[in-house]
Amino acid sequence: MAIVPVELWRHEMRRCGLAALGTPVTVVACTALVSGMAGGGMREFLAVWLPGALLPLVAGACAVGVMAREVMPELQCTFATPYPVTVRRRLWLLVIATGLGAGVLGLSAAAGAAPEPGVAGAGVVLSAVASAAAFSLLLIGLGVYAAAGRGRPGSAAALVMTAWLAKPLVLDRIPLPPAAVAAVFTVAGVWLLVRGSARAGGEAV
Amino acid sequence: MSGGGWPVALTASARTEVTMILRSRMLWVAVAPLAALSLLLALTSARGAGLPPASRVADAAVMMNLLAGFGLTMAMADRLRLHRRTGLGDLLAATPGSASARMAGTLLGAVTVALAPTAAALLAYGAVMAVAAGSPGPFGTALAAVVVILIPSGLLVTTFTALAGLVLPLTVARIGAAGVWAWATVLNPRVLPIPTVSYTILSPGGGYPAVAWLGAPRSTAVLDGQEIGADAAAVNLIVVLACTAVLLTVARKWTERYR
């Protein structure tokens, strides 16, 4: 595998845009800061639940934004590097940015999580971070797949929103093991991300 | 189109927008699952078990309005920005119709298509409740809810999101508009230590018309248990429509200034 020069990563960061790469961390950090102003039960909601819920939505919307920012895919298809490879590079950057957001979520959860009887504090934090990270990966994959090819960014973002709403309103009502759900989300997210980037290259349009 | 004035520009823009969106079909693909989710939640909800059927429909209308608003914040951010592509703004400025009417028509057409699946879901729920109750009342409530809840709120959130899409990067506009919609409809000082307009007369959540005119319960989810009258609901509706008009004016001014 060829090593990608640092300058190329910088270029891809510019192509992704500051909004796409900075928003996941910013949203989680803002929620964590607001949680510092709150007290009682509200504090745990703002420090753990809300940033954990917002991170996947923001990641999915940013994935749509990354896909939509490429205004000349035809030109990309004339380059030596296949366009799906370029798309995956940009999405790697978004995944890293989302990972940073998950890191901030971990810090926020560690500071604000109320202790639960029989569950170690680290367990609460790890569960919140893993669940948010897996769901984020799924929504990134969904956003990429829906926005690739002839997909419209607005429609793709609306699809991400529907999936995001469906989790707390439907899926979370069904008693399922969180680890299994996170594993399925991760696998599905990676699959959608790979297939979506291939669609962006015109393979399966 | 000469001499037709603003109605021609409004209807022509709305018709063009509807045709374009229907041809692409993607918006339907995106909003239909959201409408299906709303209908599923309405049919499986146990909240209104002891309520009259018409009240349950009004209660469901507020929930569907909330979810549809979230969908619109994601789908509508680029509606006005599309008209600012290179050369298109100048071309549209050369047409005889006014910019305000053209922009209003564009948003009206987009909202018509985007809200159609949710409106259909609400009417279907109203029809189911009407059949179960053996009376057309619940269906009439659903029809009225489309007019006094879904359409005004949909117009407001679409105009706000489209304006945000003009002045901010689209990704930030989508996320920010969704946050503002949540702030204006569901977030309240019990969960967020900042002032919000949720459950107030300024909220576009649809709780006021639902409770005052359609008989929705004054539950926590709809209106936080407040006592309100028909006058307050009328004021709420006027506020929502006035805010839409103000946002549309701002969008027009912005477009003219930064063409």
Q: Where are the domains of chain B?
A: 5-257
Contact A65 B40 (CB under 8 A): no
| Identity of the residue in A27, A152, A169 whose CB atom sits nearest the CB atom of B175 | A27
CB contact (8 A) between residue A65 and residue B169: yes
The closest alpha carbon to A98, from A71, A68, A133, belongs to: A133
Q: Which amino acid is at B208?
A: Y
State whether A42 and B193 contact (CB < 8 Å).
Answer: yes
What pLDDT does A119 receive? 56
CA gyration radius for chain B? 19
Nearest CB to A162: which of B26, B37, B41?
B37
- Mean pLDDT within B155-164: 96
Please tell me the distance from the alpha carbon of residue A109 to that of residue A116, in angstroms, as a whole number. 13
CB of A101 within 8 Å of any CB in chain B?
A: no
B55 CB-contact burial (10 Å; exposed 0-12 / middle 13-18 / buried 19+): buried
Residues of B in contact with A151 (CB under 8 A): 26
User: Is A61 in contact with B29 (Cβ distance < 8 A)?
Assistant: no
Chain B contacts to A (CB-CB under 8 A): 24, 26-27, 29-31, 33-34, 37, 40-41, 67, 70-71, 73-79, 169-172, 174-175, 178, 190-194
Write down the H helix ranges in chain A: 6-16, 18-37, 41-44, 50-68, 73-76, 83-112, 121-147, 153-169, 178-200
Out of A38, A45, A162, the one facing B34 most closely (by C-beta) is A162
Of the candidates A13, A194, A161, A32, the residue with the CA atom closest to the CA atom of residue A96? A13
Q: How large is the greatest C-alpha to C-alpha distance in chain B, in angstroms? A: 59
Q: Do A154 and B193 touch (CB under 8 A)?
A: no
Single-letter residue type at B67: L
Query: Which residue of A17, A45, A158 is in closest CB contact with B191?
Result: A45
Q: Is the pLDDT of residue B177 over 60?
A: yes
pLDDT tens for each residue of chain A, 205 residues long: 567 788 888 988 998 988 899 999 999 999 888 887 776 667 778 888 889 999 999 999 999 999 988 877 778 778 888 888 899 999 999 999 999 999 999 998 888 766 555 555 677 788 889 999 999 999 999 999 999 877 788 889 999 999 999 999 999 989 999 999 999 999 999 999 999 998 886 543 3
Please report, in angstroms and rounded to a whole number, the separation of the first and last CA atoms in chain A.
Answer: 27
- CA A88 → CA A57, A190, B61, B89, B146, distances in Å? 20, 11, 41, 34, 43
Across the interface, whether the CB atoms of B27 and A154 are under 8 A apart is answered yes
Contact state of B77 with A154 under an 8 Å Cβ cutoff: yes
Q: Which of B160, B179, B173, B176 is nearest to B246 (CA)?
A: B160
User: A31 — contact with chain B (CB < 8 Å)?
Assistant: no
Cβ-Cβ contacts under 8 Å for B123 (sequence gap 6 or more): B139, B142, B143, B146
What is the token pair recorded at A26? Answer: 């910013």
Q: Report the half-sphere exposure of B239 (CA within 13 A, side-chain side).
A: 16
> How far B229 CA sits from the closest chain A CA (Å)?
31
What's the pTM value of the predicted model, to 2 decimals?
0.90
| Whether B171 and A19 lie within 8 Å, measured CB to CB | yes
pLDDT tens digits for range B219-250: 766 677 777 888 999 999 999 999 999 999 99
Beta carbons of A161 and B172 less than 8 Å apart = no
ipTM for the assembly: 0.89
Calpha distance A141→A60 (Å, rounded) = 8
pLDDT at A134 (0 to 100): 97
